[in-house]
Structure 1
Amino acid sequence: MNVHDSEPFVDSMVNNDLKDLPFFIKHRWTDLHFRMNFHSHNGYELYFVHDGTGNFLTDGRIYTIDGFDIFLIGENEIHKPIPAQGRPFTRTVINFLPEFLHSSTKKKWLEMFERAHHPDKMHIRLNAKEHSHISAILSRMHEEYSTREYGFDQMLGVYLNRLLFEIYRLLHSGKEPDSKASGSSTNAIVENVINYLSEHYAEDVSLDELAKMFFITPYYLCHLFKKTTGDTISKFILYTRIHHAKRLLTRSDLTISDIAMMVGFNSYPYFGMIFKKHVEMTPKQFRTKYRQTSPNGLDPG
């Protein structure tokens, strides 16, 4: 399957934002034609939808967006919001590193982001009252983050702790989780394809072989995948390969040639060319940069 794609992956912005302060908030941004690639990054993410519809893909599951939604995204999870085009889509995004949390509550809060602990509680749908309450906290956080008055970082820590407590309370309130994440048989097919590709990304699987596995035609498979995720199968495979290559570059001592082969590139020069095109630096430059700036082995995304 051809995995060459001309559009670069913009997935390191969050990592750069978290360098100076292990907290970042982007508050109530609205777009009519918002589009984002599959991506992953350091730390944890809280994604709040205030207005809009569509899908949200995270860790191989596809959730419907239809109202006031919260998505919990764990460290280094591949995810992507897929809003309906042509109508307003308003969201608030919070990213933070574990060290920004208070030591007494850190373990409890981070467990909320682990699917092993809460496999069906990564998505919370709020009613109007709950949304208003959460929105008030988000507004205060954004004000502190924007004005940066004396002690703003301590106040952000207080508000983040309060926000995570409110989410924890919602998760344990008896509210039914969104167990039917896919929402349709079409989404379920795409979920299964994504899960398969996430495990077999390094293999050279043809489109015909992939379609046969799921008992549909290649054309219909491509159509479903593009309609549901906004991207092609080839692009998803390419991103997944680059994602795993970046992890190996920063977390292992394997040679770059060995890494290229492990993630599915049969040619080292081709891997270097594609990597530079999409990451905007060579594999060697990437390894050097993030080993220097990430001494604790944090995944640069």
Structure 2
Amino acid sequence: MAAETHFSIERIKRTEHFSMASDHMHDSYEIYYLLSGERYYYIDNRLYALQAGDLIFIHKHGLHRTTNKGETSHERILINFDETFISPSLDMQETRELLVEQHFLLRPGEQEGAVIVGMLEALLGEMDRNDPFRKIYQRSLLVQLLVYIRRLHNVQYMPIVPEVSGKQQRVYAIIEYIEAHYAENLMLDQLSSAFYISSTYLCKIFKQTTGFTIVEYIRYVRIRQAQQYLRETRWPVTRIAEQTGFDSIAHFGRVFRQLTGRSPLQYRKQFLRENNADKAAT
């Protein structure tokens, strides 16, 4: 059975303060284009200050969140898709070249931005059509968009650099510590002692910089690693729970479902099904 394809695109304008309320990661790829306003965007363990015209490509399984910056009003276009949506138009090598296994951020010039907006508006226009060619044309437009932004990325066209201050550097160090020690019984007091700051201040600067609480981020790191084990090993779920720092299989299953929308076994079965479908297509 062929894997189910996924594609969605939406354009939203907000005139009031808006920050994403919870952890956000998914099995699809994401393209975020900021049409107007300013936003803080947390991605790949770093905080970025976005301005109108900035574009972000987010690899699947990446943690990301947007929060307020500057004026309350902002408008953006958001695309979510999986590789099975574009794969009918490409071979496996071409798909891998387009869908690089990393996030990247671009600040295109005015001319390049106009080209990107034109492609995005064409994709949005297709959402209102109801004919047998809509999906084919959407796929074609998305492939064109991916090729265009990959070309910009390959020549490192005005890459956006992360925000860096003394406070943020300290938070980045805390993040690196969590990434290295997620399998341990991490406690807030342990983190505050390791970085010689009070628990209250640690929680404050971590939330301000990333938009996440310490507990939320530890959960994300553990589940991200659990997903990798589910994809790359045949370990039983109980062993994966232990290896990723959970104190019980019930707690692991509950958090995994909260963050991914499915159980660990459902996640593994879906991955195996899609992987086998890809192999059968070659």
TM-score (norm 1): 0.76
What is the identity percentage for the equivalent residue pairs of Structure 1 and Structure 2?
26
Say whether 1:287 aligns with 2:269: no
In structure 2, the CA distance between the partners of 1:289 and 1:170, relative to structure 1 (3 Å rule), is closer
1:45 aligned partner: 30
Asked if the contact 1:62/1:191 (under 8 Å) is kept, the reply is no
In structure 2, the CA distance between the partners of 1:83 and 1:146, relative to structure 1 (3 Å rule), is farther
What SS is found at the alignment partner of 2:219? helix
- Higher mean alpha-carbon deviation, 190-199 vs 81-90, is at 81-90
Aligned counterpart in structure 1 of residue 7 of structure 2, from 8, 19, 23:
23
State the alpha-carbon separation in 1 of the partners of residues 28 and 256 from structure 2.
23
C-alpha root-mean-square deviation of aligned residues, in Å? 3.0
Say whether 1:143 aligns with 2:94: no
State the alpha-carbon separation in 2 of the partners of residues 273 and 110 from structure 1.
31
Shift of 1:36: 4.3
Cα deviation digits, residues 94-140 of structure 1 (max 9, x gap): 122223143264343223x536xxxxxx1111344433321111010
State the alpha-carbon separation in 2 of the partners of residues 124 and 220 from structure 1.
33
TM-score (norm 2): 0.80
State the alpha-carbon separation in 1 of the partners of residues 223 and 128 from structure 2.
34
Number of residues of Structure 1 aligned to a counterpart in Structure 2 = 269
Aligned counterpart in structure 1 of residue 80 of structure 2, from 95, 98, 101:
95
In structure 2, the CA distance between the partners of 1:31 and 1:260, relative to structure 1 (3 Å rule), is farther
State the alpha-carbon separation in 1 of the partners of residues 47 and 236 from structure 2.
35
In structure 2, the CA distance between the partners of 1:200 and 1:21, relative to structure 1 (3 Å rule), is same
- Higher mean alpha-carbon deviation, 188-197 vs 248-257, is at 248-257
Q: Which has the higher contact order (CA 8 A, sep 6+)?
A: 1
Higher helix share: 2
Shift of 1:224: 0.6
State the alpha-carbon separation in 2 of the partners of residues 31 and 260 from structure 1.
42
Asked if the contact 1:54/1:82 (under 8 Å) is kept, the reply is yes
1:6 aligned partner: none
Code of the residue aligned with 1:193 in structure 2: it is I
Unaligned runs of 5+ in 2: 277-282
Asked if the contact 1:182/1:191 (under 8 Å) is kept, the reply is no
Say whether 1:296 aligns with 2:274: yes
Unaligned runs of 5+ in 1: 1-18, 116-121
1:267 aligned partner: 248
In structure 2, the CA distance between the partners of 1:272 and 1:73, relative to structure 1 (3 Å rule), is closer
